[in-house]
A and B are shown apart, each in its own frame.
Chain A
Amino acid sequence: MTLNSLFRNVTAAAALLVSVSASAADDKVVIYNWSEYIPDGVLEEFTEETGIEVEYNTYESNEVMYSKIKIQGATGYDVIVPSSYYISKMSREGLLADIDQSKLTNLKHLDKSLLNKDYDKGNQHSIPYTWGSTGIGINTDDIDKSSISSWKDLWDAKWQNSLLLTDDVREVFQMALAINGHSANTRDAGEIKQAYELLQKLMPNVLTFNSDAPREPYMAGDVSLGMIWNGEVIMAQEEMPEIDYIYPSEGVILWVDSFAIPANAEHKDAAHQFINFMLRPEIAARTVDYIGYATPNKDALELLDEETRNNPTIFPSQAIINRGEFQEDVGDEATALYNDYWEKLKAGM
């Protein structure tokens, strides 16, 4: 091949590519979600019904999602699923688009008590998708379930080099703060420091950090005790019923993940259609079945079978909810402090 023809071919290929990649029309929606957070088949059904093509990307932490959105100038993705404390931060910084509730005909199915929360008054920027908790995961074949009942139990020296913790700074700190009797959303430097000192003592017990699929090390047999998200336990129980979930006595970590639309998203209309689709009771019920997290969709509850509806791992009692605490934004200064200690802990200090 001569240099000339090579040059021509390359230019042609490049031109073709540009035209293909630039043809992103309005019949497309780009979703950025936590890994394994949407039931199989739902995306295909959405495309079949609406003709809107779905592009799906995943992340494993709010921080990474936030950074990507920030770096790209709140565009590129059309639907994101931040946790509550990131909703307040991102809307403060103008990174979220206003949600046109008139386009969300299925909004009426949601439980009013989960709407209009402090982190997003009037739900201008977010619509709750799921809510869940982070508690203690245990392999009941390896460890006697009755011997573990609190976060503090994880500090026992006999668990050296064997625990799993979620790779999430706020969640891990919430454990220590709860043990010390402080709020999970404290901005007090003294209280945060005390939590850090308590966590220093926990580090020798940690085998691995995992926020991609915390159930995986449990299922592979490498871990029998540690933190885990409640939905992960439900998913694990399909193959290994000996994996179980414990609500710690100091109070479980509660969180809400919501749909949001980045401020400069290209396909806002498709985004609204997608959110509306996900708000259907049948879809919400399937979500509970598949990913094991509770839904704010009250009409979906009726569609669930009794066993699921009464499963305490998915739907904790009101008493447990009251003892636990929902995560909220703590402001930039405290966040930086938490991050600082987190890095120290990971660096082995």
Chain B
Amino acid sequence: MDGYYAWMLIATAIVLMMTTPALAIFYGGMTRSKSVLNMMMMSYISMGVVGIVFVLWGWSEGWGGDGAGNGNEHLIASPFKMFGLHGVSHGNYIYVLFQLTFAAITAALISGAIADRVKFSAWVIFLPIWVTICYFPVAHNVWGGGWLATKLDGEQDYAGGTVVHINAGIAALALILVIGPRVGFRKEPMKPHNLTLTMIGAGLLWMGWYGFNVGSIVFTADNFADGNVLDPKTGVVGAAFSAQFQGETGVTFLNTTIATCAAMLGWLVVERLVHGKATALGAASGIVAGLVAITPACGAVNLVGAIVVGGVAGILCALAVGLKNKLGYDDSLDVVGVHLVGGVAGTLLIGLVSTSDAPGGIDGLFYGGGWHSLKVQFLAMGFTILWTGILTTVIALLIKFTIGWKIKPEAEVEGIDFDQHGETAYDWGSSLAGSGAHLVKEGV
């Protein structure tokens, strides 16, 4: 049990690392050199804002339920019942914080879709509204003992295919459609300015994802307190707890690794065949696509299933990211193409390749379990897409017609970093730098 707590402390810290800095670096490298700082700030500020919102009312809204973290079987839970972590025991804090890091990165994921063009103030206002109206309710329904969980017996989302990736992906699509494209979209190439950053970011995300997926074997201190009972439904206790902890983390760790390898290969094969070259950006994107797809499935599938989930996701996402140019929506850093498509792939493939050998204990279609698993996976996906798709569109329109989303076109061309933050990522030390500006009072 102490081993479990030690693991959760580490898992939570490395999931935090996924937002700050891994995602910021991954996205920052993909933007143009004039937009890096703004892109990184969108991730950092997500951690800042969502962190505070989460402990004030996020936990209550997601996991408050009956006030003791046991769910209420309703569509939403009260944000006030456990406001400010009221009634949460110290022993449960690490579980709260683990979930806090999930909420922060889900919001941060959206930012890549609207890179280079959005007022920092609009993003800061969007963040608390979005997590309050979209993230916490969906998390409550899937994980927090809400309405959906009671309706869809056998639905599996181990670490956030619906709550995190479909949720962020569909929110990104809604924002893109409301906000519109960057100046020069489909005219200029808009290539990534520093793919070494993106490769480092992808690697750090991969490492952090073990906290995300493997750490999602989650119990509350209350469960331990009840005579060491791990899961009230199965009644696993004592030595069985250790066996389950070791076995389940082994499976999720293995699946997370193997699916990611398969997705990287799948993406690169598609690129090599369709475009002629295997790119570094393709490898980095393939890694993330695999991690996204295996997120819901890491506790549901065996080794073969992990290769299928990763491989299919890598291939599908590699094809999906080209759609934005054909359809004309500016998903700047492919949040829809990777997180929505990868999240949907992982969530639905559970219905096919889920197996009772895995910790989830449910057979999908290919393992003789019939259509039931696919059906509940589909419904969970549909719930998330409808809920967040509709509500994010409403939030986005409200912001558009009040404070407005976009910076001025000339500011976009000259660089959002300087316009919004008064800074630039790279000072090339031009010979004019000395004469271009001077201090009003020397030595201030």
Answer yes or no: are A and B bound together in one complex.
Answer: no
Measured CB to CB, the residues of B under 8 A from A are: none
Question: B-contacting residues of A (Cβ < 8 Å)?
Answer: none
